[in-house]
Chains A and B, each alone.
Chain A
Amino acid sequence: MIRCDQLTKVYRRGGTEVRSLDVLDLEVQEGEFVSIRGPSGCGKTTLLLALGGMLHPTSGNVIVAGEDLYRLDAKRRAQVRSETIGFVFQMFHLIPYLNVLENVLLASGTSPADAALKRAKDLLTRFGMGPRLEHTPSELSAGERQRTAIARALLNKPKLVLADEPTGNLDPENTEEVFLRLSEFHKAGGTVIVVSHGSAAEKFSDRVIPMCAGKIVVSS
């Protein structure tokens, strides 16, 4: 599903080179639930954004579903993101002026309108957000916001979900809820990569990859 070779990301800050990703090779099979774990600042989010076609690496390749992301032009890369990848963020990143349903529909891309609407409503109802469709993010609890964000990530039936600290702002009950939703997607054949500094994701994961200072320590 995903393969990256010799991936590096180097930033320059005040004349100093910071290697956020350091010659990193990684392969994730289709249908895997992978948890990447490491301390804050070790490059987990950088890796996730690079895997999602959101952050151009300094060197190396990222191949997602057979597409070498950074050899594609920006338009095609955006299309791959829209059709293949769903993102879930720690801060939810819901659009504050759209209601729950609109936030989910924002991911509909080129899907037929009626089908997208039906799927959005189905997903939100399944996630317990049925009575909240017209509510804006500011009217939701943190758990509800993240469930909305997961529904948005799943709207286009992606092959891959990339989740960046998806439970970082949630209590244990909602943490469990979020991983259950991601686990459902995984059991349905989807690939999930979660980056986290905690261990909550591990019991749902097929594999845990520890990361430190931009490098994968060992792939277990």
Chain B
Amino acid sequence: MGKEAGVISTLHLILKEALHRKVNFVLSLSVVMITVALFVTYLTTAEASKRETTRVTRDMGFNLRIIPKETDMDLFWTAGFSEGTMSEETVQRFASYEGVFLSYNHLVAVLQKRFSLQGKDVILTGVSPAITAPNQKKQPMGFEIKAGDLHVGFQVADRLKLKRGDTLELGGHSFKIERAMVESGTEEDIRVYGRLSDVQRILGLEGKINEIKAIDCLCLTADQDPLRALRSELDKALPEAKVIQMRTIADARAKQRQTAERYFGFMSPLLLMVCAGWVCVLAVLNVRERRSEIGVLRALGHGSWRIAGLFLGRALLIGAGAALLGYGLGAALAHNVGPDIFKVTAKAIKVETALLGWSLVAAPAFSALASFVPAMLAVAHDPAVSLRAD
């Protein structure tokens, strides 16, 4: 019998009842298990999702352009770059300014000028390696160009019949074509990218840059006026420069992140409410079905704690079972489906054992909370009603 100890324990009653009313128990367990699984899946893939979002927004390009303060903006927009220059050390000074990475990130020093290449103008663009926040684990964004290498835009490559591995004479120096870029449909197609130091040498502007490209970290939309904060920060760090924000990209970035956050912020409580509602309804049905049992337990002298314990204990058991199964299911989903969704950042999907601990605490507590009202209904149930119903 397994329980010949004279007094039948509450746990024994709970287990036997669960086996007897399997449908209700399994349904309740399934609802909580699915909720746990969804949270575990979401949280296990969260880092990959975050990185994927970062990559998507990164691929939109830099959205901040820091240029010399004296730049004539009419000429700037006509030429596409500033005619003025700043010292190259400006970017290091900017990067070392306290708190700069709260607003700006992925700082790339750029020098760009029109340059005649075999009879036609190109935009010769020198770029430095990106500077990121000191404690940042993320890889620097975009590509990094090695000294002696060039990346040529589609139009330039097409006109000069250049392909990867070819060499190109530029300003009296020989360079290897590392990459012939695909058609972009923008002025990128007439750019020739080189290492900043190489381009400075070709242009005779050693130690000079005319722009710092960056990405803003504020992720605010236009109506939240991020430029004011960015300009205020820049004024303190680099009084000799000014910043232009490319609103379309910035807004897209901000909206992309805010949408993801809002979606989770909306879905989480909704999911929890639906789950709690189901657990509560199933628990109420369980209480209704067991009214005569409650009556007879009362008649046998069992008190309110025993009655409450039967229903809350059942809820805790459901929560604990759902936590274990839900964690397993969620982790399996994350590892099997996650890589298909987050193809590039799949490596970020890792087993989060801490989630099992959290599940084992949160799911039983949640289940008990959702079953609290039905348990109190059971306690408050008048035994005479069901015993007299004969």
Chain A residues with CB under 8 Å of B7's CB are 105, 108-111, 113, 116
Contact A79 B390 (CB under 8 A): no
Residue of A81, A99, A102, A168 ringed by the most chain B CB atoms within 10 A: A102
Please choose the segment from A58-66, A87-95, A139-147 that sits at the chain B interface, where 4 or more of its residues have CB less than 8 A away: A87-95
**Which residues of chain A from 114 to 168 have a CB within 8 Å of any chain B CB?**
114-117, 133-134, 152, 164-165, 168
Given the complex of chains A and B, what is the CA–CA distance between A98 and B302 in angstroms?
Answer: 16
Given the complex of chains A and B, what is the CA–CA distance between A108 and B17 in angstroms?
Answer: 19
Number of interface residues, chain A, beta carbon within 8 A: 46
Chain B residues with CB under 8 Å of A91's CB are 292, 390
Contact A49 B16 (CB under 8 A): no
A8 at interface by CB-CB < 8 Å: no
Given the complex of chains A and B, what is the CA–CA distance between A74 and B383 in angstroms?
Answer: 13
Contact B16 A98 (CB under 8 A): yes
Contact A102 B1 (CB under 8 A): yes
Given the complex of chains A and B, what is the CA–CA distance between A137 and B293 in angstroms?
Answer: 13
Contact B300 A96 (CB under 8 A): no
Contact A54 B384 (CB under 8 A): yes
Kindly identify which residue among B1, B293, B299 contacts A54, using a CB–CB cutoff of 8 Å. Answer: B299
A60 to chain B, nearest CB (A): 16
Chief secondary structure at chain B's binding surface: helix
Chain B residues with CB under 8 Å of A81's CB are 298-301
A1 to chain B, nearest CB (A): 18
A155 to chain B, nearest CB (A): 9
Chain A residues with CB under 8 Å of B159's CB are none
B20 at interface by CB-CB < 8 Å: yes
Chain A 28-48 interface 0/1 with B at a Cβ cutoff of 8 Å (1 = within): 000000000000000001100
Kindly identify which residue among A83, A95, A97, A109 contacts B296, using a CB–CB cutoff of 8 Å. Answer: A95
B153 at interface by CB-CB < 8 Å: no
A194 at interface by CB-CB < 8 Å: no
Contact A78 B387 (CB under 8 A): no
Chain A residues with CB under 8 Å of B292's CB are 91, 93
Chain A residues with CB under 8 Å of B20's CB are 96-97
Chain B residues with CB under 8 Å of A114's CB are 6
Chain A residues with CB under 8 Å of B17's CB are 97
Once A91-B292, A117-B4 are accepted as A-B contacts, the answer to whether A109 and B304 lie under 8 Å apart by CB is no
Chain B 1-40 interface 0/1 with A at a Cβ cutoff of 8 Å (1 = within): 1011111100011001101110000000000000000000
Chain A residues with CB under 8 Å of B6's CB are 105, 108, 111-117
Given the complex of chains A and B, what is the CA–CA distance between A46 and B382 in angstroms?
Answer: 13
Contact B300 A49 (CB under 8 A): no
Chain B residues with CB under 8 Å of A74's CB are 303-304
Contact A109 B383 (CB under 8 A): no
Chain B residues with CB under 8 Å of A116's CB are 6-7
- How many residue pairs link A and B with beta carbons under 8 A? The number is 107
Chain A residues with CB under 8 Å of B383's CB are 54
B161 at interface by CB-CB < 8 Å: no
Number of interface residues, chain B, beta carbon within 8 A: 32
Given the complex of chains A and B, what is the CA–CA distance between A106 and B5 in angstroms?
Answer: 11
Chain A residues with CB under 8 Å of B304's CB are 74
Kindly identify which residue among B5, B293, B390 contacts A117, using a CB–CB cutoff of 8 Å. Answer: B5
B9 to chain A, nearest CB (A): 10
Given the complex of chains A and B, what is the CA–CA distance between A165 and B12 in angstroms?
Answer: 31
Given the complex of chains A and B, what is the CA–CA distance between A114 and B298 in angstroms?
Answer: 23
Kindly identify which residue among A80, A106, A115, A165 contacts B8, using a CB–CB cutoff of 8 Å. Answer: A106
Given the complex of chains A and B, what is the CA–CA distance between A113 and B13 in angstroms?
Answer: 16
Chain B 325-339 interface 0/1 with A at a Cβ cutoff of 8 Å (1 = within): 000000000000000
Q: Chain A residue with minimal CB distance to B17? A: A97
Chain B residues with CB under 8 Å of A107's CB are 300-301
Contact A87 B300 (CB under 8 A): yes
Kindly identify which residue among B1, B5, B302, B387 contacts A89, using a CB–CB cutoff of 8 Å. Answer: B387
Given the complex of chains A and B, what is the CA–CA distance between A164 and B19 in angstroms?
Answer: 31
Kindly identify which residue among A101, A152, A165 contacts B1, using a CB–CB cutoff of 8 Å. Answer: A101
A75 at interface by CB-CB < 8 Å: yes
Chain B residues with CB under 8 Å of A210's CB are none
Contact A102 B3 (CB under 8 A): yes
B2 to chain A, nearest CB (A): 9
Contact A95 B302 (CB under 8 A): no
Contact B8 A49 (CB under 8 A): no
A72 to chain B, nearest CB (A): 12
Chain B residues with CB under 8 Å of A217's CB are none
Chain B residues with CB under 8 Å of A108's CB are 6-8
B317 to chain A, nearest CB (A): 15
Contact A82 B300 (CB under 8 A): yes
Contact A45 B390 (CB under 8 A): yes
Contact B300 A54 (CB under 8 A): no
Mark B residues whose CB is within 8 Å of A: 1, 3-8, 12-13, 16-17, 19-21, 292-293, 295-304, 382-384, 387-388, 390
A-B contact pairs, 8 of them (CB 8 A): A54-B384, A93-B292, A93-B299, A101-B1, A102-B3, A107-B300, A113-B5, A114-B6
- Given A95-B293, A113-B7, A164-B387, 15 more contacts at CB 8 Å? A55-B382, A55-B384, A55-B388, A82-B300, A91-B390, A93-B387, A97-B21, A102-B1, A102-B12, A108-B7, A108-B8, A113-B6, A116-B7, A117-B4, A117-B6
